[in-house]
Structure 1
Amino acid sequence: MALVAAPEILSPYYRSLALAILADVALAASWAFFSGPSRYLSLATGAFFGAGAYLTAIVGARVPWPLPVLGGALIGCAMALLVGALALRLRGPYFAVFTFGLAELAKHSLIWYETGVTGTVGRLILAPPEPWTLYYTILCLAGLAVLTALALRRSRWGYALAGIGSDEERAETLGIDTTRVKIGTFALSAAFMGAVGAAMAPRWTYLDPQVFNPFVSFQTVIMALLGGATTIAGPIVGAVFLGLASEILLLKFRYFYMLGLGLTLIVVVLALPSGLAGLLRRSSPSPLSSPPAGERAG
């Protein structure tokens, strides 16, 4: 209820902070429900987020809200389906490197198109939705991402993902269609990321291809791992912790922001290798803080 009432009771500053943290929750949760159980380290978040954001900049005020958000989900899903069949044949660091390169490929392809075809780089976002509309859109996406993660964890699809993460070859011998499971979940994850990018774009009045920022990919991974990527609560805890820590460091120690953030992450990761949600798991086991069945069995 507090999150629903936030736009009415919070100041513009804290409303903006809450919006950013909710977007981080949506990104981290959608990353974790694929990469957490499958153990495929995806660095493609920046590509899907950027594609959704740039789509909003292109369509602008020509279509009613929330159609740009739905379009962002579709373009993220389409990109994942397009590259997933090839990328998900790779494993370990090769998959991570491939997905990292996807954002760079998208960015430079867009720069080439904009300069060669339109003659300009960048787009103005005209007639953005009201701040409360953006807030509730992001809140819905964050809630849907967490509910999707919970539903997947309790489904046969979730057990298949956990089996892939534990031993993919053994999962194949047991009759699991690993290719279909991986591509399907990867595309679902990308749909959320594209939708979040589309919903966050109106916060800026101008967008250029730099929106395909690799920092978004790394930040999403850090949030999920920091909280505990193999739990439902982990990405939520990690996103809130990192969002608040980043804000405090920027306000109080602007010139030592990256150093302070790095030290904070190192201390937490070394002290809590299972993530911050590991504390919740030990103190009060629940569906939100429990690992997937495949991990428990392992």
Structure 2
Amino acid sequence: KEHYGALNAVMFSPEDLQLVKGEPALRRRFFDMQIAQTDPVYYDLLLKYNRVLQQRNRLLKELRDNGGSPEVLQPWNEEFIRLAAAIVRRRLAALGKLQAIAGEIYSSITKGSEMLQVRYEQKANNSTLLYPQSAAEAAEDFYREQLSERQRLDILRGNTGIGPHRDDLQLLLNGLSLRAFGSQGQQRSGALALKLSQLQYVKNELGEFPVLLLDDVMSELDNSRRAQLLLFIDGRVQTFITVNDRELIPELAGNAYFKISGGSISEA
């Protein structure tokens, strides 16, 4: 179970390098954490949505296994529709800001030779993929129509097949899918741009950078991307970095080094 909130800290771990080519759940988690850190209303919407989703799924399983009138779903459908639309509206608003920041950072990483675009991918019925550009395209009417169309299928499967919990972020490099056509280096640059854009997004919204935690990620980056990361944080972001090899972190202004051995911490 995921927990989000105004933690004022961002962690970057080797898992985050899978943001581009990994499962949609990774990108949803990344995006939800980014928004929730600066928008307590969004965090509350997520909590309520997850509770409604769990209750609706429980009722779907009961209808599948024991039969009964689908009318019992109606109050939960209405609450689901309201919360789902509100979540997607906030996601789309945040995406416009994320796109601008991530695109600029990726351009700096590649010295302007490549362009990164981030789109919201919304799953509709029959596995149709939609790419809404504004909040108007994520209104309650969309979910009301979709739920009505697939009600029998949801009962048959015992779960809710559409909603923000099924959506994704699509990453395009020069107009092509970064996940499908990007090289490993391009995919890692995309993941790095996303994580750095998360920092800048929080700074833009709250007026200060969050604390950055780099958990054993330096050894996973090549020299060029490591240099780009350090250039971004040097003198700007308070950062805690864990590494197995001190040589992976060059001398930077204000650095302090500590060693953990046998459960004890000492200056290194």
TM-score tier after normalising by the smaller chain length: under 0.3
More strand by share: 2
Q: TM-score, normalised by structure 2?
A: 0.26
Q: TM-score, normalised by structure 1?
A: 0.24
Larger radius of gyration: 2
Instruction: Considering Cα pairs closer than 8 Å and 6+ residues apart, tell me whether 1 or 2 has the greater RCO.
Output: 1
